[in-house]
Structure 1
Amino acid sequence: MSSSLSLVPARAAHVRMSGVHLSFGGRPVLAGVDLAAAAGDRVAVVGENGRGKTTLLRVLSGDLPVDRGEVRHAGSVGVADQQIPLGPTDTVGDLIDLELADARRAVARLDRATAALAEGRPDADDDYAAALAEAEARDAWDADRRVEVSLAALNAVADRARPLGALSVGQRHRVRLACLLGAGHSVLLLDEPTNHLDASGLDHLTERLRAHPGVVVLVSHDRALLADVATTVVDLDPSSDGRPRVYGGGYPAYVEGRRAEWARWAALHAEQVAERARLADDLSAAQNRLRDNWRPAKGHGKHSRATRAPGLVRAVRRRQEDLATHVVAVPPPPTRFALPDLPEHRGATLLRADGVTVAARLQRPVDLALDSGDRLLVTGPNGAGKSTLLGVLAGDLTPSTGTVTRARPARIGRLGQESALPLSRTAADLYDERLARSGVPGPGLGELGLLDGHDRRRPVAELSVGARRRLDLALVLLARPHVVLLDEPTNHLSAALVDELTAALGSTPAAVVIATHDRQLLRDTRSWPRLAL
């Protein structure tokens, strides 16, 4: 059951989920989710890729019905998901008009009600009061100005005539996010809103979310944003009883609470394993006694054997029953990322760029040289040319000026921001085929710890955005490159995987170049040399 009331001010907004269960194809995605948030609450939803975070937002928005449970919200709902609702021929203005349609209808309704009131029409008072309440609830008069402010702050395209197809993925998402921040919704549902934002955009988003008077439900892997914004954290990762956990006290309390939860879970598991081992020993001892006592030494009579036998049989059966009913709730171990052994090539520069520019995309000439073991962070605002530079280094783009020299044996792997995987192929088939074509011995997909068995067998079309991102990373690593180029590698990846990836990249003998805005990643790699564009 689901219900919503849109005509309430932000200060009265709330959302509630109670006992929500949802399965896809017989596979549970959400199991027993409880969530309650009132105005001023900022709820972060966390968990490994594929745990149902985006699904939870779709349930809250009313886009997905649940199998069981109750979902309610009061207040208008604005959703910033990972899909743009318009096509490439539509314009920036069309997207703004779509996202502000409710606010503009509210103003138009109030204008009509005001005219009717002035003309003295019947029931004009009631219509005017309702129209005024709706416009005030949305703060509808100021919506366009708020969007313009956010467009500027997010470094988004403000030219309303520009076709969306002429914009990069990041530019389109920044336009949409600016619309959501300006539309005056009481409830904001945001899916990975920090993707494609630079430092100034991140600061603006953080400020707006902290000041939002209604409810914010946020899915993000941006650890810095979660620490700055979240008041409550809902953890969808597995737990000892299979139910999601809710942590108050913000992100730091979640980190500590999750650590304690796993410690308790591991201790319980160890106790259960030890108890099962004890019961198995008892059963073995009872069976041995039954065998030994069933064949007493010579001189003992049949009566003695018959007297002992029933009791021993009963003892064995009791221990067999105890063992059968003692189920060990084995905690599934967290998926651990295993970076394959990447090669080094000493004695020669792997990759060199001299005076490289790309017309209208990378205007500052870039010089760099990479040897095995080198590290480099590429920073700068959106539009500075970070992605373009990585494309040039990988050989996917031709520079307008300058030259790029690559050592003949050097293999270069690049993780871009956009995925172009064939949707009909399974992850395992796609990986195995490309591994065979690479001609380089490499790890199996399961060995990398990036996708579980279920996702490895699924078509790409059925994978979550995060799982596709993991597959993209796996495809980069399969050929064991000498140079690894990573463009915003933390996008859509869980905090735990990012920590593991960061640690692994710090010690690999390959050369590594990362272009990123991720504030926590920048802190974790503060010792790396930097190239600011």
Structure 2
Amino acid sequence: MPSHLPSAPVRAAHVRLSDLHLSFGRRPVLAGVDLVAAAGDRVAVVGENGRGKTTLLRVLAGDLPVDRGEVHRAGSVGVADQQIPLGSTDTVGDLIDLELAAVRAALARLDAATSALAEGFPGADDAYADALTDAEALDAWDADRRVDVSLAALNAVDDRSRPLGTLSVGQRHRVRLACLLGAGHSILLLDEPTNHLDASGLDHLTEQLRAHPGVVVLVSHDRALLADVATTVIDLDPSSDNRPRVYGGGYASYVEGRQAERARWEASYAEQLAERQRLADDLSTAQNRLRDSWRPAKGHGKHSRATRAPGLVRAVHRRQEELAAHVIAVPPPPTRFTMPELPKYRGATALRATGVTVAGRLQRPVDLTLDAGDRLVITGPNGAGKSTLLSVLAGNLEPSTGTVIRPRSVRIGRLGQESEQPGTRTATDLYDVQLAQSGESGPSLADLGLLGSYDRHRPVADLSVGARRRLDLALVLAALPHVLLLDEPTNHLSATLVDELTAALGSTPAAVVIATHDRQLLRDTRAWPRLAL
């Protein structure tokens, strides 16, 4: 079945943000956001974790009021965020009906208008015309077929009677994404839509977003998707005037423009420091002349300079006031991830699996051996058993057949796809406990550069999805493992952190196993051995 869907007709989709400001308590989250997007525009929202990317999507969806500024939208809105709005007893069909509610309502209005027109009720002509226009805008008659096509392309469950509680997190998100791709909304707001997608699903999503006739606003860590899809990038990271920057020309232009912006900021700040130092020197010289009432005889050059001292003091003060009114902020040093010095296992073999299978989850028997410093990338479509295999290797799941040998002295760290940390303790508390349990002297949470001071001392329940993902990674590293098992490690992480993590994984003495669909990560680790399931 072809993955490309015919574009549903949409009204003139439009999104406009003007001087948007929003704070949580006393902490500014969004400051001075400006954006204009029309039909055909695909806007990528980028920035480090905690910069307000998901918050901006919630504002655009109408779920979160702003403190100041204007938000305008034209057209129906479809939202794919990190939360599924139904419970475990609801079914796949319930989720499809919920996401196609606008389609169902449009067809119901058209049916009612058709009946009224047949009965000859007054005003029925206008009501029918309006209802028909609404249904055509959504291409409502073809919506269920479009959803079925996307369900197949995304390898999602299509049994409408299946309870959501029997689906994995990834399966639920794929069903929801398929609904949104088929619903015909004018505006799509997508938060990390590539999580839980395999290679064919990523290709389908890319095609659908590129063909979408309305507006797409996208938050994603997937650098390949951003490069393939984005026409505009809005950067929420700090700038010289503390306002977000908007870059046209796609993701590559953003990367180039961001580097140039940073260079200009650092140069302007250096010029400001130099100017302040010059003014301080001039002021000191002039004040020294004022304190010394002696002047050389008239006609001497030094007499003239001493006579001008009071005016020079006033001029310096005026210039200092001008600088104070236009202070250039200190460019904050970029947050850098620092990988702890993981140990190299000194034994012969760190981990060995022989003939491992798990009934219903990992059908193909797997044999593998990991020695110190080995690298391995596990690939395969959704459902092939990649996460299951990592769970078996880590000792979290017993295999149905086969054996796994782990020497007692080997420490194994596994990063799962989803965070399972309790919500009442702070990130620092959890990390310190994990570090103490390892019995080793490792770096502090601050030293890793994964979380800022604000997030390190907040309850985990209050952290953003991206910040929780960073904490999960920190907790795995706190154990100072000999073997790292990483399941989709780039999920929810910023592009900068992904680059730094990838480089660190390539050089650590520990053995590293990655299971991923991330196309850029696969390219960056193309020299690593592969295990295809």
TM-score (norm 1): 0.92
- Partners of 2:273 and 2:230 in 1: how far apart? 37
Kindly provide the amino acid, as one letter, of the partner of residue 230 in structure 2.
Answer: A
Distance 1:96-1:354 versus aligned 2 partners, 3 A rule: same
Distance 1:287-1:350 versus aligned 2 partners, 3 A rule: farther
Judge conservation of contact 2:438–2:480 (CA < 8 Å) in 1. no
Kindly provide the amino acid, as one letter, of the partner of residue 487 in structure 2.
Answer: D
- Partners of 2:426 and 2:306 in 1: how far apart? 59
Judge conservation of contact 1:344–1:509 (CA < 8 Å) in 2. yes
Q: For 1:469-516, what per-residue CA distance to the aligned partner results, in whole angstroms no more than 9, with x for missing partners?
A: 001000010121111111001100000000000011111111111000
Corresponding residue for residue 302 of structure 2: none
Distance 1:288-1:474 versus aligned 2 partners, 3 A rule: farther
Distance 1:328-1:358 versus aligned 2 partners, 3 A rule: same
**1:273 and 2:273 aligned:** yes
Q: Which moved further from structure 2: 269-278 or 426-435?
A: 269-278
Judge conservation of contact 1:435–1:479 (CA < 8 Å) in 2. yes
Distance 1:175-1:283 versus aligned 2 partners, 3 A rule: same
- Partners of 1:230 and 1:312 in 2: how far apart? 58
Corresponding residue for residue 96 of structure 1: 96
What is the CA distance between 1:272 and its match in structure 2?
Answer: 2.2
- Partners of 1:11 and 1:526 in 2: how far apart? 44
Judge conservation of contact 2:77–2:188 (CA < 8 Å) in 1. yes
What is the CA distance between 1:330 and its match in structure 2?
Answer: 0.6
What is the CA distance between 1:280 and its match in structure 2?
Answer: 4.5
Secondary structure of the residue aligned to 1:10 is coil
Judge conservation of contact 1:441–1:479 (CA < 8 Å) in 2. no
Corresponding residue for residue 454 of structure 1: 454
Judge conservation of contact 1:45–1:236 (CA < 8 Å) in 2. yes
- Partners of 1:38 and 1:532 in 2: how far apart? 42
Corresponding residue for residue 22 of structure 1: 22
Q: For 1:39-80, what per-residue CA distance to the aligned partner results, in whole angstroms no more than 9, with x for missing partners?
A: 111111111111111111110110011111110111110000
Judge conservation of contact 1:346–1:371 (CA < 8 Å) in 2. no
Corresponding residue for residue 464 of structure 1: 464
Distance 1:475-1:282 versus aligned 2 partners, 3 A rule: farther
**1:58 and 2:79 aligned:** no
Judge conservation of contact 2:350–2:372 (CA < 8 Å) in 1. yes
Q: For 1:263-300, what per-residue CA distance to the aligned partner results, in whole angstroms no more than 9, with x for missing partners?
A: 11111122223333444455666677788x59x9xxxx
Corresponding residue for residue 299 of structure 2: none
Secondary structure of the residue aligned to 2:69 is strand
Corresponding residue for residue 397 of structure 1: 397
**1:45 and 2:45 aligned:** yes
**1:228 and 2:263 aligned:** no
Corresponding residue for residue 358 of structure 1: 358
Kindly provide the amino acid, as one letter, of the partner of residue 79 in structure 2.
Answer: V
- Partners of 1:479 and 1:347 in 2: how far apart? 19
Distance 1:85-1:201 versus aligned 2 partners, 3 A rule: same
Judge conservation of contact 2:440–2:480 (CA < 8 Å) in 1. yes
- Partners of 2:17 and 2:317 in 1: how far apart? 43
- Partners of 2:149 and 2:356 in 1: how far apart? 35
Secondary structure of the residue aligned to 2:196 is coil
Q: For 1:287-324, what per-residue CA distance to the aligned partner results, in whole angstroms no more than 9, with x for missing partners?
A: 77788x59x9xxxxxxxxxxx99998997898688668
Secondary structure of the residue aligned to 1:486 is strand
**1:181 and 2:181 aligned:** yes
Corresponding residue for residue 264 of structure 1: 264
Kindly provide the amino acid, as one letter, of the partner of residue 102 in structure 2.
Answer: D
Kindly provide the amino acid, as one letter, of the partner of residue 162 in structure 2.
Answer: R
Judge conservation of contact 2:437–2:479 (CA < 8 Å) in 1. no
Corresponding residue for residue 479 of structure 1: 479
Secondary structure of the residue aligned to 2:221 is coil
Corresponding residue for residue 496 of structure 1: 496
Secondary structure of the residue aligned to 2:43 is strand
Judge conservation of contact 1:9–1:75 (CA < 8 Å) in 2. no
Corresponding residue for residue 303 of structure 1: none
- Partners of 1:386 and 1:405 in 2: how far apart? 19
What is the CA distance between 1:248 and its match in structure 2?
Answer: 0.6
Kindly provide the amino acid, as one letter, of the partner of residue 73 in structure 1.
Answer: R
TM-score (norm 2): 0.92
- Aligned pairs for 1:363-402 (under 5 A) are 363-402=363-402
Judge conservation of contact 1:11–1:213 (CA < 8 Å) in 2. no
Secondary structure of the residue aligned to 2:450 is coil
Kindly provide the amino acid, as one letter, of the partner of residue 344 in structure 2.
Answer: E
- Partners of 2:195 and 2:15 in 1: how far apart? 25
Q: Which moved further from structure 2: 23-32 or 281-290?
A: 281-290
**Structure 1: which 4+ aligned runs deviate by more than 6 Å?**
286-291, 308-324
**1:109 and 2:109 aligned:** yes
- Aligned pairs for 1:150-165 (under 5 A) are 150-165=150-165
- Partners of 2:364 and 2:159 in 1: how far apart? 25
The percentage of aligned residue pairs carrying the same residue is 80
Corresponding residue for residue 304 of structure 1: none
Corresponding residue for residue 171 of structure 1: 171
Kindly provide the amino acid, as one letter, of the partner of residue 130 in structure 1.
Answer: D
Kindly provide the amino acid, as one letter, of the partner of residue 35 in structure 2.
Answer: L
Structure 2: 5+ residue stretches without partners: 1-7, 295-304
Corresponding residue for residue 73 of structure 1: 73
CA RMSD of aligned residues (A): 2.1
- Partners of 1:45 and 1:334 in 2: how far apart? 18
